[in-house]
Amino acid sequence: MIGLQAQTAAPPLAADAAPIVEVRGLSKIYPGGVEALNDISLSFPEGELTTLLGPSGCGKTTLLKIIAGLLQPTGGEVRVRGRAVTGPGPERSFVFQDFALMPWATVIRNAAFGLELRGVPRSEREAVAEKYIASVGLKGFETKYPHELSGGMRQRVGLARALAVNADIVMMDEPFSAVDEQTRRQFQEDMLRLVAQERKTFLFVTHSIEEAVYVSNRIVLLSRRPSRVSEIIDVNLPRDSEPDQIRRHPAYLDTVEGIWQTLKRYLD
């Protein structure tokens, strides 16, 4: 099922995990005529972190928002566990590029907001939120307001909110694009830890090749708009090594270089 449209260079051996999300023949033409996606088919294996990587404006956000049910496609469909997506659902949660925190609400209320909307009683939802606030490293900041936090900390709240609803699929649209490099690396370690311990499926969008290779199990390379799948790459890194060793590992360096060679074609 993987990569129907892929002129795939990588051997199709990633079919071990069952797909939890399937994208079939998806097209999106925005009102005004911009064709963002053209007949994309893809599948996302359960329990893995798949990254969408591609040139700016190629339609990564569009694809992610259609999977999230926030945008309607012009053609094609998305299936989650075999059921067609018509809107947002409890099994999917989203981490927003611009954080999308409510400035009038404390960290804990923001983190618990998904549960609040579901009618979970206050003490219960705050207990859950507290746990996730701690797991993203914000213990002690529960009663602060977003404007009292740094950009990196705000995005951690967004992450805690997405995790607190216990969705199977967590979608992240360039979650680290607004934070500095140091925070970003810290985040990447946290992500790897979360992926290992939460057993969720992560769909991740980034601009950074290094970041994609470092955190992903699988990378989907998209071509320029209207977007098509150009290549699917399986990443196999020695995850139990130290971060510095991974970043110097030949497999890491070769994958980064290979992706760069592919993406360079779209630059001109």
Contact residues for Mg ion, defined by CB under 5 A: 61
Q: Which is nearer to other proteins, 92 or 224 (CB)?
A: 92
15: number of Cβ within 10 Å: 12
Please list, in sequence order, all residues whose beta carbon lies within 8 angstroms of the beta carbon of residue 28, skipping any fewer than 6 positions away.
35, 36, 37, 59, 62, 63, 66, 71, 73, 74
Give Cα separations from 110 to 141, 178, 216, 237 (angstroms): 12, 19, 28, 35
Which helix (H) or strand (E) is 258 found in, with range? helix 250-264
Residue 225 interacts with, from Mg ion, other proteins, ligand ATP, none (CB under 5-8 Å by kind): ligand ATP
Residues that bind other proteins (CB under 8 A): 68-70, 87-90, 92-94, 96, 98, 100, 102-106, 113-114, 116-118, 144-148, 161, 165
What's the N-to-C CA distance of the chain in angstroms? 32
Among 11, 13, 16, 56, the residue binding ligand ATP under the rule CB under 6 A is 56
Q: Which is nearer to Mg ion, 61 or 262 (CB)?
A: 61
Write out the binding residues for ligand ATP, residues 96-125 only, by CB under 6 A: none
CB of 179 to Mg ion, least distance (A): 16
Q: What are phi and psi of 265, to 5 degrees?
A: -60, -30
CB 233 within 8 A of CB 255: yes
List the structure tokens of 228. 């098509």
Determine the 3-state secondary structure of 52 from DSSP.
Answer: strand
Q: Which is nearer to other proteins, 62 or 217 (CB)?
A: 62
CB of 162 to Mg ion, least distance (A): 17
Write out the binding residues for ligand ATP, residues 19-38 only, by CB under 6 A: 30, 32, 34, 36
CB of 175 to Mg ion, least distance (A): 11
Site pattern 199..238 for ligand ATP (x: CB under 6 A): --------x-----------------x-------------
CB of 185 to ligand ATP, least distance (A): 21
CB 205 within 8 A of CB 191: no
Residue whose entry in the numeric block shows the structure tokens 């009038």: 104
Q: Which is nearer to other proteins, 147 or 264 (CB)?
A: 147
Please list, in sequence order, all residues whose beta carbon lies within 8 angstroms of the beta carbon of residue 247, skipping any fewer than 6 positions away.
210, 214
Of residues 66, 265, 99, 102, the one with CA closest to residue 179: 99
Q: State which residue has the least CB distance to Mg ion.
A: 61
Residue 116 interacts with, from other proteins, Mg ion, ligand ATP, none (CB under 5-8 Å by kind): other proteins
Binding site for ligand ATP (CB under 6 A): 30, 32, 34, 36, 56-62, 207, 225
